[in-house]
């Protein structure tokens, strides 16, 4: 996929990783909704975003009425299924862009992942976490290493994010290293 759209939870963790720029070797442009940008506060993350906006690798995504209509509906629908974690508007905008524009959605929000799994109207939306982004960078040799486990560990250490062990092992197995 050439285009992705990132939510706040993804960006604020991803921006902490020293290899964060590899994402721009995977996608032509990564969009970030204006709603998401408003949630970013730290100087470190804002500096990175500003730098990437200047280079054109990152682009602002303006929420159009069609996207907002779907997003608001998703917020409501996500709260109608007991057990499904509610999705908030910034993540819902990303999911709506995934549905309407075909962008790959980058998220670390479990509600967004659950929504794609559970809501029929989102069945065609593709969602990646940092886990899948790093795996793809390794598959394409954008990150070169003989030991992928070290790369995932590095991300965990630098962001204090934890990959689910089972998912990580499946990916390491598939990478065959």
Partner 1 sequence: MSLEDKLKKWRKLEAEAREIRRREADWEFIKKQPARIRAALKYYIEVGDIRGAARMALMELEDFRELLRKANVPTIV
Q: Is 5 helix (H, G, I), strand (E, B) or coil?
A: strand
**Between residues 63 and 101, which has the closer beta carbon with respect to partner 1?**
63
Site pattern 61..100 for partner 1 (x: CB under 8 A): --------------------x-xxx--x------------
Greatest pairwise CA separation for the chain in angstroms: 47
Q: Is 59 helix (H, G, I), strand (E, B) or coil?
A: strand
Phi and psi (nearest 5°) for 164?
A: -60, 130
Cβ(145)–Cβ(138) below 8 Å: yes
Cβ(138)–Cβ(175) below 8 Å: yes
Which range touches partner 1 (CB under 8 A), out of 47-55, 97-105, 114-122, 143-151?
114-122
160 lies in the binding site for partner 1 (CB under 8 A): yes
> Cβ 142 to partner 1, closest distance in Å?
22
Total residues at the site for partner 1 (CB under 8 A)?
29
Among residues 113, 13, 14, which one has the least CA distance to residue 57? 14
In the complex, the residues that contact partner 1 under the rule CB under 8 A are 8-9, 12-13, 39-42, 45, 81, 83-85, 88, 107-111, 113-114, 117-118, 129, 160-164
């Amino acid at each position: 996929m050439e285009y992705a759209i990132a939510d706040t939870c993804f960006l604020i963790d991803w921006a902490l990783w020293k290899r964060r720029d590899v994402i721009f070797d995977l996608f032509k442009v990564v969009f970030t909704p204006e709603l998401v940008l408003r949630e970013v506060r730290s100087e470190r993350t804002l500096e990175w975003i500003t730098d990437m906006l200047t280079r054109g690798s990152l682009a602002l995504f303006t929420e159009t009425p069609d996207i907002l209509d779907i997003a608001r509906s998703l917020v409501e629908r996500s709260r109608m299924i007991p057990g499904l974690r509610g999705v908030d508007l910034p993540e819902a905008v990303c999911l709506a862009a995934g549905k309407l524009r075909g962008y790959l959605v980058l998220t670390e929000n479990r509600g967004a992942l659950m929504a794609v799994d559970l809501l029929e109207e989102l069945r065609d939306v593709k969602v990646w976490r940092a886990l899948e982004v790093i795996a793809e960078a390794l598959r394409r040799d954008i990150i070169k290493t003989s030991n992928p486990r070290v790369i995932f560990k590095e991300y965990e250490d630098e962001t204090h994010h934890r990959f689910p062990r089972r998912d990580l092992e499946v990916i390491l197995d598939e990478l065959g290293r």
